[in-house]
A and B are shown apart, each in its own frame.
Chain A
Amino acid sequence: VNDKAYGGSSAPEAPVHENPEWEKARQALASISKSQNSTKTSPTNRTTSQAGQYQTAVTDSSAMQQQQQQQQYYPWYPQNQQQYPGYAYPYYNYYPITTFVDVECLCYGVPGAYPPPTTPTGQPPAMPMMEEQSSSYSSEPQPPPPAVPQPPPQSPTSSDQPPPPPPPPIPPPPNAQYPPPPSQNPYNPNGALPYSPTDSNPMRGYNHGQPRPSYQGYQPPGYPPPPQQGPGQGPYGGAGRGDGNKKPNNANMNKGGQQLWNRMKQAPGAGGVKFNIQKRPYVMANQNFPPGEQPPGLATSTAATAATSAATTSTAGAAQAGPQDWPQAMKEYVQRCFAACETEEDKDRTEKVLKDILQSRLQDGSAFTIDWTREPLPDVKPRQSRWEAVPQRSQENASGRGGATRGRGGARLGNYRNVFSQRSPSSSSSRSSSRSPSPHSRHRDRSRHRRSDSGSQSDSSISSDLRPISRRQQRGGRGRGEERDRGRGGERGRGRGGKANRGRRNMDDPGSGIGKKRKGGNAGLDFHDPNREAKKQSRAARFHTKRTEPLVLNINAFDLPNGTQEGLSWEDCPIVGTCQDITKNYLRLTCAPDPSTVRPVPVLKKSLTAVKAHWKTNQDYQYACEQMKSIRQDLTVQGVRTDFTVEVYETHARIALEKGDHEEFNQCQTQLKALYKDCPSSNVGEFTAYRLLYYIFTKNSGDLTTELVYLTPELREDECVSHALALRAAWALGNFHRFFQLYKRAPRMAAYLIDKFVERERKLALGAIFKTFRPSVPVEYVQSSLAFPCLDTCLAFLTGLGVAFTPSDPSKIDCKASSACLTTS
């Protein structure tokens, strides 16, 4: 029944659906089915027998395809859950290539997968078979293997396959890198067992579907080439190669497999690379492999085919159960996974991962027991990061993954949705299948209460929902423009632009999509919507769509910028230097400091003394600055915040001030401000005054006000501070006389700072003077009022401005004539 449903859906779809998305989906399905088939076949005879097996299997080709498709969906998911063991084995066991694939898959999809050990070689295989047959994998997983292999057509292969032998050879290389090899054995068994049993079972299923024949056709060709290609195809081709399934040609599969394979080969080396490769292959496969071509491809790509077959076989094991039997929740899970894909790559990866997951899940029967609704989507992107860099969120991977998956996975998976949406018909068929009294049905129910309960209703709602959504997504992902038309869509599109949330949003699309609809509807409608009930219902239906992944707030993973900074604070991980050099050149740190190049405080004290002495005698600012900076750096690195630190910064600030080095001076000021909180120094007033003066210089009345707020009465009494305050008051009122009187009396190094804006203030004052005095004003008055050190400098300044002196008396300024020069200058 299931097969029929699938077949019906899939078969019809294949022809009907020209959408690229569709194609992908189909291909994915096909690949799955193929993989499954292949697995089945492979189990029967890893290599040689495969063809035969396949053929046999092929008989059901149509059914097989269907099944495969179904299976594919499921298998992928389950695989994730089950973890690696399951995956690798089924696919890879038979074909060496498969191992590669598995490895990749493992790497990417399931870190945890590695555990392959869990599925001891023999047992797992058996398990699948049993399960499938029994309907509940869990119960008899192991037994199946025997059954599987035995099945006449495939049995030979299956038996062979189950045995680790084939896999081991192939796996070794790839495996070496990854744990997979061990798992292979388990897998093989699984795969083999599953296959054979599945075959028998699947056969039924297939028969139903009828597709089998086609399936066989596919597989056979593919199988010959077996090993290496197989694996590649399995994961990649399988998924991508949905074409094969859809198109029904094994050849497609094979070709895809081959091509994929090549890519795969690269991939095996590096996870990231592989993925990229996969992508292309995927596309290639679709495009390149018209049905006709497929056959040739098969021939050429014997190896590849073999590999694919292996993969298929492995999946087949799972497939055996028959798509029909897959829990609805699992199917939905698959849909969700694809729905979360944004790019082709994502889809490919997802496909791969899903295969593994579903397969393993199906094999061990957990597919029927776990709660698919809670199953995290495969984390596709993270893999890359893994390889390239340490996973940022290892935790996520380990446990929930939720966060990462959501964010990244979601984004990636986006496009897939489309596929699914288009597919929706198929999904509906699957629904029916689920309803069918398959043995597994109970499990499904368990796994997904709601959906199973609601049965057709919920499903239908889902499917219907999905379609629009998928469309939207496509648009959203590709072109926002369309979305915009829909009103909210625009928003979403934008939103996606962004970050992790994007992914989630995509996922949400279904829901939101509904929301949109509603909105749209509402726009026209009134608030007093007569359709309230209907709304409620739709709302209820919506809930079934839920988010694709479990909701995990970003907050968890979110790192407060502050937090991180603090986390990295030098004080948290102090080191103590051992360097004894008095002088040290400044180098900006780009990595963790090496204690051997860091000077401890006692040495630094000597250094400071030396720098001071050097400065006094040589006035070599460049040298002093560099030395001071290196001292500061050493202090920072060691988390030293003491009076000595204050002294260093004060010293550097003074030197910088003297030389007019704004940048360093401000850096020191900033540090000092913070340091003074912990280590009050007798110079607090001095540097507070400098800060005030600096604000005057920058005319920053806001900061000035803020600074005033924090001035304690004691501080106001400080010589420097009171001077700065008086200066500020004079400056604020334009009282240049007082201002310059204060300038002349500037304590400590305040004059250096005031120098920065003295000229500005002089000009302002001159403006007032020229406007006020008539007919003239003596230069002496200007000189004394504006605090020029001597008459000459004053004259130089005035002439520089183009001031006009009275013709009769050069010691007087013609104010009227001069006022113009200020405005112009």
Chain B
Amino acid sequence: ETHLKIHYILPREEQVLEAIDTRDGVFCAELLSFKHPHVANPRLQLSSPEDKCQQVLEPPYDEMVAAHLRCTYAVANHDFVEAYKSFQAHKEENWYVSLFKQKCILAEQCFKSAEQQLQKKGKGKVGDMLEKAAEQLMSCFRVCASDNRAGIDDSKKWGMLFLINQLFKIYFKINKLHLCKPLIRAIDSSNLKDDYSMAQRVTYKYYVGRKAMFDSNFKLAEEYLSFSFQHSHRSCQRNKRLILIYLLPVKMLLGHMPTTQLLKKYDLMQFTDVTKAVSEGNLLLLNEALAKHETFFIRCGIFLILEKLKIITYRNLFKKVYLLLKTHQLPLDAFLVALKMMQVEEVDIDEVQCILANLIYMGHIKGYISHQHQKLVVSKQNPFPPLSSVS
């Protein structure tokens, strides 16, 4: 029976060997990937694959493969926690970057599954597993980042960006954005930062852009996310959509409204009403739109960003008031009426002053309030400067 098993492993191992020998990391990674059909082979789902692997493979790899097989076994038995353990063992071994990547991806998947499983059992805190995963990745990252000896061509530094992206992924998931900082610094100071593969760079910029957005650095966010969006492969519609989810709010905050076509193309129609409301200064519609898709926006993590569009909406609304009144001295009551028309609850003149104060403070309106006369006095030139010139 054992022999049988070995035989089943053998062909595969041979391939792995071949791959190792030719340094074909990509192929090797494929062989050790969970997408490879071998995973479904029950004969390879061994609870203790060490012996076989040891017999067939040379040291650094036998363990790796053994761990992989163990993992396969664990997954087959829906024991994701065990699988997670297997992956921890994996970590140290892989120095072929592509292999490495594969493993990291697998690891993350496993971590996620493991976490889900744990949560089902009511054990473990959210993010525990992911944090473990991050630790593992971090250790890999340090190895890569400290590889100063190897030539630039086969330096492990080429694995850095990949690892960083994986780490970003986790950090975003567990809301530990502050941990991204050192990683960003590492890349910023890297002389390879523009030489990584476009795919990696797109991913990287995507995450950094998102981070900038959460830090309210919208200009930077726009830059990164735009880069990401423009350089995504055209076949990666899903990725482009993901990017857009963050790029759109940023763009809108900066005064660039998306066209309906764009929203349609990427199936982001949740934004249509928002876009419309903002550009019309329709506060009511905006509130409705936000409420309607609140779940979606919150899950995307952009609800709080979109909320800031209210300020733009106020600005547009008040601009309308100004255009209607055609004067530079606008009574505050007019704005109060406008706000009440938008069904803002419990609004009073003080709040109008407050809102105007904020708009002026942020530069959306050029002018001042005369408290004594209860009037807004706006600049005769360009009282509502274009959004793109503000902030």
Binding site for B on A (CB under 8 A): 484, 487, 490-491, 494-495, 498, 501, 504-505, 507-508, 510-512, 514-515, 518, 522, 527, 535-536, 539, 542-543, 545-547, 550-555, 558, 560-563, 566, 677, 701-706, 708-709, 729, 732-738, 765, 767-769, 771-774, 776-778, 781, 784-785
Contact = CB atoms under 8 A, between A and B. Distances in A.
Nearest to B311: A733
Contact of B85 (A522, A535, A542, A558): A558
A733 B310 contact: yes
B219 to A, nearest CB: 18
Contact of A767 (B84, B143, B304, B361): B361
Interchain residue pairs A-B with the least CB separation, the first 5: A508-B59, A511-B59, A737-B354, A772-B357, A768-B361
Nearest to B351: A737
Interface of B: 17, 21-23, 50-51, 53-60, 62-63, 66-67, 70, 81-82, 84-86, 88-89, 92, 95, 118, 122-124, 128-129, 132, 143, 146, 149-150, 175, 177, 214, 298-299, 301, 303-304, 307-308, 310-311, 350-351, 353-358, 360-361, 368-372, 377
B89 A558 contact: yes
Nearest to A538: B21
Contacts of B89: 553-555, 558
A566 B358 CA distance: 51
A558 B81 CA distance: 12
Given A512-B60, A555-B70, 7 more contacts: A543-B57, A562-B124, A702-B214, A709-B298, A729-B307, A774-B369, A784-B350
B63 A504 contact: yes
B63 A771 contact: no
Nearest to A523: B154
A50 to B, nearest CB: 45
B175 A774 contact: no
A563 B353 CA distance: 57
Contacts of B361: 734, 767-768, 771-772
B21 A769 contact: no
B51 A508 contact: no
B54 A547 contact: yes
B357 A769 contact: yes
Contact of A772 (B70, B175, B356): B356
Given A551-B50, A732-B307, A560 B81 contact: yes
Nearest to B85: A555
B299 A709 contact: yes
A784 B371 CA distance: 14
Contact of B95 (A491, A510, A738): A491
A708 B358 contact: no
A126 B58 CA distance: 41
12 contacts: A527-B22, A550-B51, A551-B50, A553-B66, A563-B81, A708-B303, A767-B361, A768-B357, A768-B360, A771-B357, A781-B371, A785-B350
Nearest to B344: A738
A560 B304 contact: no
Nearest to A504: B63
B50 A737 contact: no
A515 B360 contact: no
B85 A706 contact: no
Contact of A737 (B21, B59, B311, B353): B353
Contacts of A737: 350-351, 353-355
B325 to A, nearest CB: 19
A546 B358 contact: no
Given A555-B86, A703-B175, A777-B371, A495 B118 contact: no
B371 A778 contact: yes
Contacts of A765: 354
Contacts of B177: 702
Given A703-B175, A768-B360, A550 B21 contact: no
Contacts of B86: 553, 555
B350 A555 contact: no
A467 to B, nearest CB: 17
Contact of B60 (A508, A554, A705): A508
A539 B355 CA distance: 76
B120 to A, nearest CB: 13
Given A522-B23, A561-B132, A773-B371, A785 B354 contact: yes
B59 A772 contact: no
Contacts of B371: 773, 776-778, 781
A511 B58 contact: yes
Contacts of A490: 149
A505 B93 CA distance: 9
A514 B89 CA distance: 23
A495 B92 CA distance: 8
A521 to B, nearest CB: 11
Nearest to B175: A702
Nearest to A536: B21
Contact of A539 (B58, B95, B303): B58
Contacts of A709: 298-299
A819 to B, nearest CB: 10
Given A562-B128, A732-B304, A772-B356, A553 B21 contact: no
Contacts of B370: 773-774
Contacts of A505: 60
A768 B143 CA distance: 49
A735 B350 contact: no
B308 A733 contact: yes
Contacts of B350: 737, 781, 784-785
A539 B122 CA distance: 49
Contacts of A542: 58
Contacts of B303: 705, 708
A784 B350 CA distance: 9
B190 to A, nearest CB: 20
Contact of B62 (A495, A547, A767): A547
B88 A555 contact: yes
Nearest to A547: B59
Contacts of B308: 732-733
A536 B360 CA distance: 76
Contacts of B307: 729, 732-733
Given A705-B301, A737-B351, A507 B59 contact: yes
B354 A550 contact: no
A735 B368 contact: no
A339 B88 CA distance: 26
The winner among A539, A553, A709 for most chain B CB atoms within 10 A is A553
B21 to A, nearest CB: 6
B121 to A, nearest CB: 9
Contact of B369 (A501, A535, A773): A773
B63 A553 contact: yes
Contacts of A511: 58-60
Contacts of B128: 562
Nearest to B118: A562
A768 B358 contact: yes
B283 to A, nearest CB: 11
B249 to A, nearest CB: 13
B82 to A, nearest CB: 8
A705 B300 CA distance: 9
Nearest to B86: A555
A535 B143 CA distance: 29
A735 B60 contact: no
A556 to B, nearest CB: 8
A554 B86 CA distance: 8
A503 B303 CA distance: 51
Given A737-B353, A772-B360, A708 B22 contact: no
Contacts of B85: 555, 558, 560
A701 B368 CA distance: 31
Nearest to B88: A558
A512 B298 contact: no
Contacts of A736: 354
A706 B369 contact: no
Nearest to A710: B298
B60 A774 contact: no
Contacts of A536: 21
B290 to A, nearest CB: 10
